[in-house]
Structures are given as structure tokens and as C-alpha cells.
Amino acid sequence: MDLVVDANVIFAALVKDGFTIELLLEPELHLFAPEFLFTEISKYKKDLIKKTSRSEEEFDEIFEILRQRITIIPKEEFESFLKEAHSICPDENDAVYFALALKLNISIWSNDKKLKEQNIIKIYSTKDLS
């Protein structure tokens, strides 16, 4: 299954062990994300480490595994879909994920319930994928 993965899923996996990290490493899932995703995570690294029992070394190791696992797509490749994405996305801050999903014609993996308030792009939560 191909999915655009939202930052909140990655944050959850970095903060604690559990089903989310297992799913992220599932070989049957092909994951895609906009290029800013890992920049965003790096920006909040110190805050994320404070919320976890992981050492900085463990955090960095998992972060690197996820970087290798997720295909990063440059904004230039999907920016022509941003206008349409803004018109259907219930949360303006997540329009970039919608644009990428539109470009790739795939669903989004996000735990943001608000994103399900539209019926154009299928949204899967972690629970939905279990």
C-alpha cells in the first residue's frame, strides 16, 4: 500500500516504541512525504527527546532509519496541486500532504481526525491500518 505519511505519525514513532514504529517499518507499506518533513522534525528534536525515554543516540538512529524508509518528494513535483489541495483540506497546515497525495493519487496516513472531514482523499489513522 502506498501512503503519504503525516508528521504526526513520525512524531509518535520517535517518541515511543509501539505499533506506529512497527507499521512504519512494514515492508508492504510504501511511504512518501514532502521534503520539509524531516526539516520540521529536526527543528523539534530537543522537544521530542524530552517527551521520550530514548537517548539522543537512539532517537537519531530511529530518525535515520525513517529517513531511509520514506521517499521524500520535492515540493516542485507537487506544487501544481496545492491550489486544489487548499480547496479540499480541512486544515490549511496540512494542504501540502493533500497536494502530494493528489499528485501521487494515493491516500494519507495521519492521526489528525479533522482531515477525515472531506471525502476526496482517503485518510487512514494508525488504528485504521492495524
Distant-in-sequence, close-in-space partners of 16: CB < 8 Å, separation ≥ 6: 52, 53
Count of residues in the chain = 130
Structure confidence at residue 53 (pLDDT)? 80
pTM of the full structure: 0.93
Ranges of the chain whose pLDDT falls below 70: none
Residue 10, in any domain of the structure: yes
Q: Which domain holds residue 39?
A: 2-124
Alpha-carbon distance 128 to 6, whole Å? 15
Residue 130, in any domain of the structure: no
**Residue 8: count of CB within 10 angstroms of its CB:** 17
Structure confidence at residue 122 (pLDDT)? 98
**Cell numbers linked to 15:** 517518541
Structure confidence at residue 52 (pLDDT)? 86
Structure confidence at residue 39 (pLDDT)? 87
Residue 95, in any domain of the structure: yes
φ, ψ (nearest 5 deg) of residue 32? -130, 150
Are 98 and 108 in contact by the 8 Å Cβ rule? The answer is yes
Residue 55, in any domain of the structure: yes
Structure confidence at residue 17 (pLDDT)? 82
Residue 105, in any domain of the structure: yes
Structure confidence at residue 60 (pLDDT)? 92
Residue 96, in any domain of the structure: yes
Residue 85, in any domain of the structure: yes
In whole angstroms, how large is the CA radius of gyration of the chain?
14
Query: Domain of 102: which CATH number?
Result: 3.40.50.1010
User: What is the count of structural domains for the chain?
Assistant: 1
Residue 129, in any domain of the structure: no
CA 42 from chain center: how many Å?
A: 14
Structure confidence at residue 54 (pLDDT)? 85
